[in-house]
Structure 1
Amino acid sequence: MPIDVMMPFYGDVAQFRQAVTSVLDQRDGDLRLVVVDDCYPDPEPREWLASLTDPRVHYRRNETNLGVNGNFRRCVELVEADHFVVMGCDDVMLPDYLATVRRLAAAHPDAAVIAPGVEVIDDHDRIVTPLGDRIKTFLTPKADSAKPAILTGEALATSLYHGNWTYFPSLLWRTAAVRDVGFRPGLEIVLDLALLVDLAADGGSLVHDPTVVFRYRRHDASVSSVQAVDGRRFAEENAFFADEARRCAARGWPRAARAARLHATSRLNHAQTRAVAAVGRLRSTKPAP
């Protein structure tokens, strides 16, 4: 059965073309690609998709701009397959992505989420390792292709509260599990983390195989980067983690509650961002020699 690749679109057209091409070039071509256009003003992406004449490609345009959370929710509504991906319109699937996640889903049919290995690229397709991604690597559960890591319940939630080591656009989701839970309304930065921990609370499991089959693009224009500068990211994160600590305590998950209260990587990222901003202010006010 095809895997649905849902691609919410609003962004760089050249990177969008690269993302679409990487999907259509999969060695496992049993897929349906659905581009969900969130009212992008330029008709070029729609016209280019039509020129592909590939029956696997489907285009949907929202009647109004739904924003990040709304468009992700719209993507889930449009899913028809048993498993789906919500891929970023600037990311890249390596040729064996679909074959790898399909194999893992078949081996773990009850898993709510499949998390393959990911490498990070910049705007120029260069592989990079920023501090935040080095921390993600440190926090990622140890596993190999012969023995993937399987996390569920409090152990899964605790791992993710310490630091969300997953890359949302690379994740394969089991449709029935996600529809039982859904994205929480009102979140833009931590909506993927919220979904993951809600699945954990619902008894869902995550399977991680470190085989690298996906490239996640990290750049300054991302929603999280822009909101980190003006503080909205951290306001959302802090409110989320405080609420999660209360939820976990009520659920009888003390380790998860403690991890949510600490959310150490969020605090580190906040401190790093404030330090960079402070340096920038010093440089802008320093008199010329």
Structure 2
Amino acid sequence: MTTIDVMLPYYGDVAQMKEAAQSVLDQTFTDFRLVVLDDGYPDPEPARWFGAMDDPRVQYLRNEQNLGANGNYRKAVELVEADWFVMMGADDVMRPGYLAAVSAAIDAFDVDIVQPGVQVIDETGARVTPLVDRVKKAITPRVPTGGAALGGEELAASLMRGDWAYFPSIAWKTSSVREIGFRTGLDVVQDLALILDIIKRGGRMALLTDVVFDYRRHSASDSSVRALDGRRFDEERDFFLGEAASFDSLGWHRAARTARRHVTSRLNAASLLPKAYRSEKGAPRALWRHILR
């Protein structure tokens, strides 16, 4: 049986953070450690709530200074003790069988990453299917019931067609992540960058079919704001072109062509144009630049 560390970088809504943490404590698989990394959120309630817990599997830490999302992720990786870990979102929800499904996949497949089935929920917890997630579902590779292991150029090209992975739901092999680490300077594609870096080094992903994780999508999330003002797509464009060059150096020319085209990313930008024209924070020129370049 594999022990799994659940790392919970936190800054934001207290009630949703509590729901996320409680979903970890409610797992049928009990051989885990929950580590909460409070990035200095200005509310004493998290410290009080975790301080009242009498559970040796739970550790609450508060950063002395705000590290930002990327910095808090890197700190979390440094604190992992188990062979596998999850970098859970502080507003997402594990279904009770999540860790059991991940543990079974770790035993069944020789992989570095486990991506389980995911359901998207909104701010209220209701199940939703936004356009972006309908597209993700359509382009996700089809695997048999019980899952399959994927890797190499085929997996890289698939992720370049569209990033169908859900970062907070993924289980990671600790040694593989520590060999590579999160790239600095990335805000919205850091998870995809890590997956691709692992794949390019020969790593593999287990893709599961059972839905065991609820991913919360907020309309006013940081990535949504960055998308409307163009910052998200500026980062994506530079990232895709850099990956194309990297794939070419490996001889993965099909993946390189897919990265250069980044069709799904362009379509995502196009879908936001009406909202950008209506929004004070919108930047239609930035979206058009991404669509046409």
TM above 0.5, one fold?
yes
Q: Percent identity?
A: 55
Match of 2:285 in 1: none
Give the AA of the match of 1:30.
D
| Structure 1 position 280, deviation (Å) | 4.9
Secondary structure of the corresponding residue to residue 276 of structure 2: helix
Residue pairs, 1:1-289, within 5 angstroms: 1-108=2-109, 110-146=110-146, 148-280=147-279
Contact 2:229 2:276 in 1 (8 A): no
Give the AA of the match of 2:235.
E
Mean Cα displacement is larger for which, 151-160 or 129-138? 151-160
Match of 1:284 in 2: none
Match of 1:285 in 2: none
Specify every segment of 5 or more residues in structure 2 that has no aligned partner in the other structure, as ranges: 281-293
Pairs aligned (count):
279
Aligned-pair RMSD on alpha carbons?
1.1
Specify every segment of 5 or more residues in structure 1 that has no aligned partner in the other structure, as ranges: 282-289
CA shift digits 1:88-108 (9 cap, x unpaired): 000000000000000000111
Spell out structure 1 runs of 4+ moving beyond 6 A.
none
CA shift digits 1:190-209 (9 cap, x unpaired): 00000000001010000101
| Structure 1 position 144, deviation (Å) | 3.2
Secondary structure of the corresponding residue to residue 84 of structure 1: strand
| Structure 1 position 279, deviation (Å) | 4.5
Secondary structure of the corresponding residue to residue 128 of structure 1: coil
Contact 1:142 1:149 in 2 (8 A): no
Contact 1:152 1:200 in 2 (8 A): yes
Mean Cα displacement is larger for which, 210-219 or 262-271? 262-271
Give the AA of the match of 1:79.
V
Give the AA of the match of 2:32.
L
Equivalent-residue separation in structure 2 for 1:268 and 1:2 (angstroms): 41
TM-score (norm 1): 0.94
Equivalent-residue separation in structure 1 for 2:226 and 2:275 (angstroms): 14
Mean Cα displacement is larger for which, 63-72 or 202-211? 63-72
Mean Cα displacement is larger for which, 258-267 or 94-103? 258-267
